Amino acid sequence: MKILAINGSHRAGQNTAKLLSLALEEAQARGAETELVELSELNIKYCSGCNRCLGKPMCSIDDDMTQLKEKMLEADGIILGSPDYFSNVTARTKCFIDRTRPLHMTSNQLKGKVGGFLTMSGLDNCGAEATNAVMEQFFATHEMLIVHPRPEGPVIASSITGSLMAGMKDGKPRWRRSVDEDPIAPALARQLGKDMVELIQKLS
Ligand SMILES: Cc1cc2nc3c(=O)[nH]c(=O)nc-3n(C[C@H](O)[C@H](O)[C@H](O)COP(=O)(O)O)c2cc1C
């Protein structure tokens, strides 16, 4: 079983990567082969809108997306993570999303694979749900099966949204040094790794 995580942050190894790594850690502990791809370390150009992929599952651009699409096709599960930028995914993440069009236009080549997503944000209630919705729609468009992690016990969130805000004190916001100090998102990210392995096992 292969699980691929893709980080759409411009900052490799930072908060979004940390959450993705927790999901992969849990998946690996359950026997999955895992890999984290940092989009910021790849050369992925914008879709040019040439529409070559309408007729054939091909792209006219030759860059690192060719190899990344191969990795996606080999994976049983794909996790996409993005920071919340203006209540949306980063432009880097959107560029990646657009470039997956050849996997979708003539047939859905990722159909039936398992998908999961998470958002990292600076503030609470400042667009993370909208950011997650973009990624959920991405997986739905590819006809992938989406995991919504739910740890045992009381409901704590409906999606994985890390935040750097630790509340207010004396009228001023207090900040976490990193998502490691977020009391909720790391637990949900771990649960995503567990639930993803479980669903892939049920499907196989
Ligand atoms: C251009 C820009 C726009 C941002 N927009 C938002 C926003 O709308 N809401 C929010 O909560 N945080 C916003 N942030 C904060 C980032 O989501 C936050 O810093 C996040 O931790 C980045 O993830 P990273 O550490 O993986 O890079 C923005 C940051 C930048 C640079």
Ligand 1 neighbourhood includes 162 CB (under 6 angstroms): no
Ligand 1 neighbourhood includes 108 CB (under 6 angstroms): no
| Integer CA distances (angstroms), 95 to 8, 67, 88, 114, 179, in order | 9, 16, 13, 21, 25
Rounded to 10 degrees, the C-alpha dihedral 62/56/104/76 comes to: -70
Residue whose C-alpha is closest to residue 49's, from 63, 60, 64, 65: 60
Residues of the chain with pLDDT under 50: none
Cα(179) to ligand 1 centroid in Å equals 12
pLDDT in the model for residue 92: 99
pLDDT in the model for residue 2: 98
Ligand 1 neighbourhood includes 38 CB (under 6 angstroms): no
pLDDT in the model for residue 188: 98
pLDDT in the model for residue 42: 99
Ligand 1 neighbourhood includes 9 CB (under 6 angstroms): yes
The encoded tokens of residue 164 equal 């750097």
Q: What domains sit in the chain, N to C, each tagged with a CATH number? A: 2-203 (3.40.50.360)
pLDDT in the model for residue 138: 98
Closest atom, ligand 1, to C-alpha of 7: 26
Instruction: Count CB-CB contacts under 10 A for residue 175.
Output: 14
Cα(84) to ligand 1 centroid in Å equals 5
pLDDT in the model for residue 39: 99
Write down the pTM of the prediction. Answer: 0.98
pLDDT in the model for residue 200: 98
Long-range CB pairs of 168-177 (<8 Å, 24+ gap) are: 173/123
Ligand 1 neighbourhood includes 109 CB (under 6 angstroms): no
pLDDT digits (tens, 9 = 90+) for 152-196: 999 999 999 999 999 999 999 999 999 999 999 999 999 999 999
- Mutate which of 86, 88, 159 to test ligand 1's pocket (most atoms within 8 Å of Cβ)? 86
pLDDT in the model for residue 29: 98
